[in-house]
Amino acid sequence: MLDYRLLPDNDCLENEKAVLPKVFELIRRLKVGLIYGPISPEDRPYYRRAVLGGPAASMSITHVASALTQRGLRAEIINPELFGFLDRLRNIDFALIMVHGPFGEDGKIQGLFEYLRIPYLGSPVLPSAICNSKTICKAMVRSLGLPTPSHTRLLPRTEEAIGEHIACSGLSFPAMLKCDTGGSSVGMVKCKSLDDVISQLSSVSPNVPYFCESFANGTSCTVSLIQLGTTMFCAEPMEIETVHEFYDEISKLEGGNSGAGVRYHYPARISKRAAQRCMENARLIAEQLQLTVYARVDFIVSEDGTPHFLEVNTLPGLSPETNFVTGMLAFGFSYADLLVLLIRASLVNTIEP
C-alpha cells in the first residue's frame, strides 16, 4: 500500500536524486515499449497536428524516446493501431503508455498488460476506469464531501429528456457541455442556454456519452502527483492562464508558455490557504482512488479560495512543455530523470509484498 502525502521535503528529493544512477543501471537492461498512436479521439488532434504541421520533433513520443535512448535505455515505439501490435508486445519488458482517452486511460489497455504480466506506466485498471468517466469520478468525490460543479449526464438524449435532466440537476447557465469519457477538452463547448445544449448535441452520435455542468468562475489550477518510492506526493498547484474563454482544445494543443494564448504559473497565483486546500483535496482523492505512479487533479478555485473539483487525469502528457512535466521539473529533476522515476515507481508497484 502506498502512503499519500503533500509536498516532499528536501531530504526526500535529495534521496531520490542520489539513487537515480542505480535506478538507471537496473532499468537500462529493460526493453521499453512506447505505446503511442491516434487510436482515441483525444490523441488524434495532437497526432494530426504533428503529421500535417510538423515537425515530428514536436510530438511527445519523440521527446520521450529521445530522452530514454540518450540515457542508454532501449525504447521501441509501438502503435496499437498497426497490425502485429500484440506480437510486438511479447518482446518488451515495460510498457510506457502514451495513449489517452478511450483505449488508453479507461482500464482496457491496463487490463491487457495485467493479463500479459507486463509492467506498465500509471494507475491500475480500477482507478483508470473510474477516472475515465468524469461523472462517476465526480460522484466519488462528492461522497467525500468535496465541492464540484452541479452536473448531469445527458442520457437519453431526446429534447424532453435533456430538459428534464438539466432541470432536476440544479445546474445553472452558462454551462459546460463535455464528453463524459474524453479529455484534452475535445468537443467541450460553453453553452448559454438549454437550446444551445440541444443544438450542440444534435450533431453528436447518441452513443457518445455527454454531460453538462455549471460553468465555474475562478482560477484554473491543477495539482500534479508523483510517486517517489512508496509514497505519492502532491506538488503545489499550477495555474493555467489562457486568453480563450476557458481552457479549451486549442489552448491545450498550443501548450504552456508558447506565447500562443496559454501560460502556466507555478506556483499558482492563489492564496496559501487555497493552495493548501487544493493539495489536501488532491491527496484525499488520490488516496481514495488509489492512484499510483503519477496523475493530475484539476480544480477551479473560486474567489473565496474554494477548490471546485473538475476531473482526474491518470496519464498526464509527458511532453517537456506540459503542465505536469513543468511542475515536476520545479522539484529539480531533469526531464530524463523524471521519466526514469516514473518507470521505477511503476516497477515498484509490481513487486508483491
Q: How many CB atoms lie within 10 A of CB 332?
A: 12
3-state secondary structure of 16: helix
Residue 255 identity (one-letter amino acid): G
pLDDT at position 13 is: 94
d(CA 190, CA 248): 10
Which residue type occupies 68?
A: L
CA 151, CA 134: separation in Å to the nearest integer? 10
Q: Is the peptide bond before 174 cis (omega within 30 degrees of 0)?
A: yes
DSSP 8-class letter at 56:
G
pLDDT at 158: 87
DSSP labels, 145-199: T-----EEE--S-SHHHHHHHHHHHT--SSEEEEETT--TTTT-EEESSHHHHHH
Distance CA 202, CA 214 (A): 20
40 closest CA partner among 85, 116, 106: 106
Nearest-angstrom CA–CA distance, 250 and 243: 11
| Mean pLDDT by groups of 10 residues along the chain of 353 residues | 94 92 89 85 59 55 90 90 91 93 90 96 97 95 96 88 91 91 70 93 84 94 96 96 62 51 90 98 98 97 97 92 89 93 94 62
As given in the structure block, the three cell numbers for residue 57 are 520533433
